[in-house]
A and B are shown apart, each in its own frame.
Chain A
């Protein structure tokens, strides 16, 4: 199939991509752009490991095809949340509250949580659970993930995050 050229903003960087329209957005990022932070757990939109933000909305990137994207679309993946020296408050809280165990659901969880906190900076625990209910985790029982997101919502208001213990 012939390729299409699209201009996308990926993690705040303008990029021109050249891919077949039936390529999954997940594969575009992982294989072509080498952004492997986003994971694949089921390939059919059930597990949320491939969650990312498209124009501010959480999507399952395994269900989104390149042909469905428009020029100027903005994509945010886990790689765009912070940098080595400055983890975002949300990332910090996942690290220090035990929000990551095996870590494979973590990028998708972070993106779902990031989208929630942008819209609702002080969510209740129920609202957090609802927001991440499309993201499966098999390790944590979700308690510490919800703890981490709750803590991040409090920290972002206070403007700082508790430093780690060790």
Chain B
């Protein structure tokens, strides 16, 4: 019986419900000390002096600064510009100046209060606009972190043929991940000389690579292990390398395991966030609503260091033209440096910043030509055989029309809009808005081809077959879904398969757990491994049972020859191990045939395939308080194959509510480079009372090169909520807000006569 397509129970769910699931802060090690970080309190300048107060007994703690880094003082990502510990120039508030380890956390924090840092202060660059103006230069001559262009057809000609030109500017603020478990890590130098790290991290091999440079140790002397992760959403993609660096430097200095778990305010102040963005659209359209020309400027605030910004920029840029066909496009994008904490990966990785503007803009285009929001999308959406903005010709598994029609039907879109427009009473008005969106599965461009992500299958002494992958489980369900896929590839019952903990000492480098890539990429590799493993096991069994290997198969928990049961799978595994010894099969990912991408021209197949989504949001706006209540959201998500429908629904619902938070309430307030909304009292995320009723529709148009047809799903749900809600508010009030978040204050300002 195949297990793919079944809602099998989440791995670890029982332990979670019993309070037995262990996260990094639940782990103890003998002799473990606790770390704290002394941080910069100015956004731009240089450290003049670090002064230790005389009133504290410094013998009780261990201190470390940049001089205690045995290797290079840099956290390696795309560029090597991010220092682990500042020793001179300060580029944002919250950088590490000194590290402290103490037997208790309280003592480490007390010591921190006795350190004073003196600075030479320089004028900072705090906003994207200021950085672009480049009056103050903090990176090169123009503050540019990365810049790309993209051209298709002839935009000038397209505009010349347009009946109307619609323009708009859209802005979006920071968004903080607010994983409920803050960042945390433990590092220990083991007796065998191996540096062992365990923590809340999405990408074990990122941490391993970064530590190898910081500690000047080969990667095979570093083992990085995932503890259970209490939410990540991209926030634990690159940042864990920083906190692991702190722990490792301290652990080496004090010769003990060192744990650092951030307080919530520290986490909000220093960890990465969604990039603020400014996007300008100029679109030429014919009377009938056909898009004939697009001109797009897409800009991001990268923060103080490069980190992942060039890649976030490229994904956001590619998604900024929306899921629409337009033959003539001229588009530019740029990420600028500011003296704020680096912005990084957050579910969607730039795509939400690309899709919010175009999806609000499409409603304005619809208004300009006098057709409905549904109809404008219907007329322009990408269909099988169409070319995307990068010139990628879509072949198969194109779900744009299917998701749009599903949501239109279930929400009774056109009819419901009319009903709601009439339903206004007193100061409550209601509206319905829609959004259509897509999300590329896997890395952008040639990323997967370069990385060749590995996965494996291993025979275990308990008779089971273990999935080996560095892709982590962080609540998204990968460690439930990957064994399901492996079991079906092998043809065995799910009980025959298990999955190894992501630990660089035990699993191959699968690449990071990001980019909606895990199910699709790892699923394909596990398929290759399963074929090879079956071949080896069947050859062994054929000899042992004097049977024809061609007639052997697995069925449920058994090895079969034709219809005859030979032995349990577990018995076969044990027999193989006993006679032949250990067996691990490892293989790697290769892009489907015919995928070509040009990094320089931004032309070609940007992704192996896209997943597709449509949201409709119904809102009530109170014109006395300007509060917006989202009463219902319909979502349709086309993901090729829902490997585990219950988990897939959970992904969709959770991502949609994160998008609701970004749309309406999540406002990161910064003043003079300091985060002011650094608490959950001031940075507000949705509660159960803010979450709307949801109707979740999963659609499947199998992808030829995905495991059992599956594509990526993880980020798609973050992409469409904000524009659907903004469009619903415009429908309800007649006021079009183009800036996120749409707080009551912002709506009030816009509605003021």
Nearest 3 CB-CB pairs, A to B?
Answer: A37-B19, A102-B475, A104-B230
Given that A98-B649, A138-B685 are known contacts, is A39 also in contact with B230, CB under 8 Å in the complex? yes
**By the criterion CB–CB under 8 Å, are B18 and A82 in contact?**
yes
Q: Is B263 an interface residue (CB 8 A)?
A: yes
A128 CB contacts on chain B under 8 angstroms: 688
Taking the closest CB of chain B, its distance from the CB of A22, in whole angstroms, is: 11
**On chain B, which size bracket covers the interface?**
35 or more
Q: Is B29 an interface residue (CB 8 A)?
A: no
> Taking CB as reference atom, which chain A residue is nearest B104?
A31
C-alpha spacing A55/B8, complex, angstroms: 37
Interface segment out of the listed B92-100, B519-527, B587-595, B651-659: B651-659
**By the criterion CB–CB under 8 Å, are A136 and B646 in contact?**
no
Q: Is A14 an interface residue (CB 8 A)?
A: no
Query: B residues 647-677 with Cβ under 8 Å of A?
Result: 647, 649-650, 653-658
The listed residue (A95, A130, A134, A141) touching B17 by CB distance below 8 A is A95
**By the criterion CB–CB under 8 Å, are B263 and A43 in contact?**
yes
C-alpha spacing A77/B17, complex, angstroms: 11
The listed residue (B23, B182, B681) touching A44 by CB distance below 8 A is B681
C-alpha spacing A49/B12, complex, angstroms: 18
C-alpha spacing A96/B25, complex, angstroms: 26
**By the criterion CB–CB under 8 Å, are A105 and B691 in contact?**
no
Say what secondary structure dominates the interface of chain A. loop
**By the criterion CB–CB under 8 Å, are A104 and B13 in contact?**
no
C-alpha spacing A144/B656, complex, angstroms: 13
The listed residue (B6, B178, B687) touching A166 by CB distance below 8 A is B6
Taking the closest CB of chain B, its distance from the CB of A97, in whole angstroms, is: 8
A47 CB contacts on chain B under 8 angstroms: 180, 264, 680
> Taking CB as reference atom, which chain A residue is nearest B650?
A98
Given that A101-B650, A103-B16, A166-B9 are known contacts, is A138 also in contact with B264, CB under 8 Å in the complex? no
**By the criterion CB–CB under 8 Å, are B180 and A138 in contact?**
yes
Q: Is B482 an interface residue (CB 8 A)?
A: no
**By the criterion CB–CB under 8 Å, are A106 and B16 in contact?**
yes
Given that A37-B20, A129-B689 are known contacts, is A103 also in contact with B650, CB under 8 Å in the complex? no
Q: Is B179 an interface residue (CB 8 A)?
A: yes
> Taking CB as reference atom, which chain B residue is nearest A91?
B17
> Taking CB as reference atom, which chain A residue is nearest B473?
A102
Query: A residues 71-90 with Cβ under 8 Å of B?
Result: 77-79, 81-82, 84, 87
A interface list, Cβ under 8 A from B: 30, 35-44, 46-47, 49, 77-79, 81-82, 84, 87, 91-92, 94-107, 110, 128-130, 132-146, 164-166
Given that A96-B9, A100-B10, A105-B180 are known contacts, is A78 also in contact with B19, CB under 8 Å in the complex? yes
C-alpha spacing A64/B679, complex, angstroms: 19
> Taking CB as reference atom, which chain A residue is nearest B25?
A40
**By the criterion CB–CB under 8 Å, are A103 and B13 in contact?**
yes
Other than A95-B14, A98-B646, A165-B7, give 11 A-B pairs with Cβ distance below 8 A.
Answer: A36-B25, A37-B19, A47-B180, A79-B18, A101-B10, A102-B229, A133-B689, A141-B650, A142-B653, A164-B9, A165-B8
Q: B161-205 vs A: 1/0 string, CB under 8 Å?
A: 000000000000000011111100000000000000000000000
Interface centre among A43, A103, A107 (most CB of B within 10 A): A103
16 contacts between A and B (CB under 8 A): A36-B22, A38-B19, A39-B23, A39-B181, A41-B181, A91-B17, A95-B10, A101-B475, A102-B230, A102-B231, A103-B13, A107-B19, A134-B687, A137-B180, A139-B650, A144-B650
**By the criterion CB–CB under 8 Å, are A142 and B646 in contact?**
no
C-alpha spacing A97/B696, complex, angstroms: 15
Taking the closest CB of chain B, its distance from the CB of A86, in whole angstroms, is: 11
Q: B332-373 vs A: 1/0 string, CB under 8 Å?
A: 000000000000000000000000000000000000000000
Q: Is B586 an interface residue (CB 8 A)?
A: no
Taking the closest CB of chain A, its distance from the CB of B274, in whole angstroms, is: 14
> Taking CB as reference atom, which chain B residue is nearest A37?
B19
**By the criterion CB–CB under 8 Å, are A166 and B691 in contact?**
no
C-alpha spacing A99/B654, complex, angstroms: 11
A101 CB contacts on chain B under 8 angstroms: 10, 231, 475-477, 650, 654
Q: Is B26 an interface residue (CB 8 A)?
A: yes
Query: B residues 15-59 with Cβ under 8 Å of A?
Result: 15-23, 25-26
Taking the closest CB of chain B, its distance from the CB of A137, in whole angstroms, is: 7
> Taking CB as reference atom, which chain A residue is nearest B21?
A103
Taking the closest CB of chain A, its distance from the CB of B652, in whole angstroms, is: 8
The listed residue (A30, A46, A142, A166) touching B681 by CB distance below 8 A is A46
B interface list, Cβ under 8 A from A: 3, 6-10, 12-23, 25-26, 177-182, 228-233, 263-264, 474-477, 494, 646-647, 649-650, 653-658, 679-681, 685, 687-689, 691, 694, 696
**By the criterion CB–CB under 8 Å, are A37 and B688 in contact?**
no
C-alpha spacing A42/B12, complex, angstroms: 24
> Taking CB as reference atom, which chain A residue is nearest B182?
A41
C-alpha spacing A37/B18, complex, angstroms: 7
Say what secondary structure dominates the interface of chain B. loop
A166 CB contacts on chain B under 8 angstroms: 3, 6-9, 494
B182 CB contacts on chain A under 8 angstroms: 41
**By the criterion CB–CB under 8 Å, are B8 and A140 in contact?**
no
B691 CB contacts on chain A under 8 angstroms: 129, 141-143
**By the criterion CB–CB under 8 Å, are A46 and B10 in contact?**
no
B26 CB contacts on chain A under 8 angstroms: 30, 36
B688 CB contacts on chain A under 8 angstroms: 128-130, 132-133, 135, 137, 142, 145-146
C-alpha spacing A49/B457, complex, angstroms: 36
B649 CB contacts on chain A under 8 angstroms: 98, 143-144
The listed residue (B18, B181, B658) touching A91 by CB distance below 8 A is B18
C-alpha spacing A163/B485, complex, angstroms: 23
Given that A37-B18, A41-B264, A100-B13 are known contacts, is A138 also in contact with B179, CB under 8 Å in the complex? yes
C-alpha spacing A82/B179, complex, angstroms: 27
Interface centre among B14, B177, B264 (most CB of A within 10 A): B14
> Taking CB as reference atom, which chain A residue is nearest B645?
A98
C-alpha spacing A146/B687, complex, angstroms: 12
> Taking CB as reference atom, which chain A residue is nearest B684?
A46
A130 CB contacts on chain B under 8 angstroms: 688-689
**By the criterion CB–CB under 8 Å, are B6 and A44 in contact?**
no
> Taking CB as reference atom, which chain A residue is nearest B19?
A37
The listed residue (A38, A78, A141) touching B654 by CB distance below 8 A is A141
Taking the closest CB of chain A, its distance from the CB of B140, in whole angstroms, is: 37
> Taking CB as reference atom, which chain B residue is nearest A145?
B688
Taking the closest CB of chain B, its distance from the CB of A155, in whole angstroms, is: 14
C-alpha spacing A104/B200, complex, angstroms: 12
The listed residue (B7, B17, B233) touching A106 by CB distance below 8 A is B17
Given that A41-B182, A102-B179 are known contacts, is A84 also in contact with B680, CB under 8 Å in the complex? no
> Taking CB as reference atom, which chain A residue is nearest B717?
A141
C-alpha spacing A148/B685, complex, angstroms: 22
**By the criterion CB–CB under 8 Å, are A133 and B687 in contact?**
yes
C-alpha spacing A137/B681, complex, angstroms: 15
C-alpha spacing A135/B229, complex, angstroms: 18
C-alpha spacing A46/B680, complex, angstroms: 6
Taking the closest CB of chain A, its distance from the CB of B138, in whole angstroms, is: 33
> Taking CB as reference atom, which chain B residue is nearest A125?
B693
A43 CB contacts on chain B under 8 angstroms: 263-264
Taking the closest CB of chain A, its distance from the CB of B403, in whole angstroms, is: 18
B233 CB contacts on chain A under 8 angstroms: 138
**By the criterion CB–CB under 8 Å, are B680 and A136 in contact?**
yes
Interface centre among B10, B23, B494 (most CB of A within 10 A): B10
The listed residue (B476, B685, B694) touching A136 by CB distance below 8 A is B685
**By the criterion CB–CB under 8 Å, are A140 and B679 in contact?**
no
The listed residue (B7, B181, B263, B681) touching A104 by CB distance below 8 A is B181
